[in-house]
Amino acid sequence: MSNIVEWYKDFMIKTQDPRTEGWFLVSGPGPTLMIIMTYVYFSVSAGPRYMKDKKPYDLKNTLIIYNFIQVLLSIYLFHEGLMGGWLYEYSFVCQSDGYTSKPNSPRMARVVYAYFICKLTELLDTVFFVMRKKDRQISFLHVYHHSLMPMCAWIGTKFFPGGHATLLGIINSFVHIFMYTYYMLAAFGPHMQKYLWWKKYLTIMQIVQFMIIFTHNFQLMFVTCNFPRPLSFLLVVNSALFIYMFSSFYIKTYMKSSKQRKSKANGSSIMSATDATDAITADAIDSKDHDKYD
């Protein structure tokens, strides 16, 4: 056991990137893992049990402010990531992680750290679902995605705050600009629904995002690059899983549901006044239910 502890300490010290050494929550994985485990426990067990006999909280103003802040943070991350390397200096074919001597290197390290902190704040998405009793939106995809991203971001901040893998954060931040804009507008109420016709395209953007990340890292399996191949392989596997899950979500939510609505419409030539009223009421309820699927 003592040998394992010594190996762990030696590994953490020798492989730590000097740019982020000593930064808050970066020294070891313990605090981040505790946050993630607490998040999962609250999301799937403690939170729903606590809210079982309570009325949903009205968090309209909180959601508007929270999503607005997330939009600003996403714009900042996207801009800084481009200016920190990807717009002018980084190579899309192979970008070494040995970049500490470059002028923009500290800037990119700060961006990676800010991205890590943002992944932690985004856990509030699920907390708000629980407090509003939107339990059906707490899917496996949702919890898995929100649990995995902080740990991936911590690894990047601790060991690789620069280089090839940082493109993931740039693309993800770009998608989040639109995603949190949608959530912010939806939080204003049902009267905004007519302006949110582009909801399904957010899922398409997510799928395209992971396809780009998959391709960007998969190419390193075949080229010589001073960037850890095992890390690129893990990103490839993770991207493939997300492509599958988001694609399944899209098919189930938008393609199958659309076919079912058409089938019902064709099978019902006459609708009574009562049925029509029920359908309108159901649509009105559904319009108030703004899903979050990231």
| 177: Cβ contacts below 8 Å, ≥ 6 apart | 71, 74, 75, 78
Does 146 participate in catalysis according to the annotation? no
How many beta carbons lie within 10 A of that of residue 74, not counting itself? 22
Diameter of the chain by CA atoms? 77
Q: Indicate which residue of 142, 145, 164, 216 is catalytic.
A: 145
In eight-state DSSP terms, residue 191 is G
**Cα-based distances in Å from 40 to 127, 144, 145, 174, 205:** 10, 9, 11, 26, 26
**Alpha-carbon dihedral of residues 201, 70, 159, 150, nearest 10 degrees?**
-80
Angstrom distance (rounded) from CA 154 to CA 156: 5
Nearest to 18 by CA among 162, 142, 130: 162
The sign of the CA dihedral 141, 241, 113, 64 is negative
Query: How far is the C-alpha of 42 from the C-alpha of 138, rounded, in Å?
Result: 11
Q: Which residues are catalytic?
A: 145
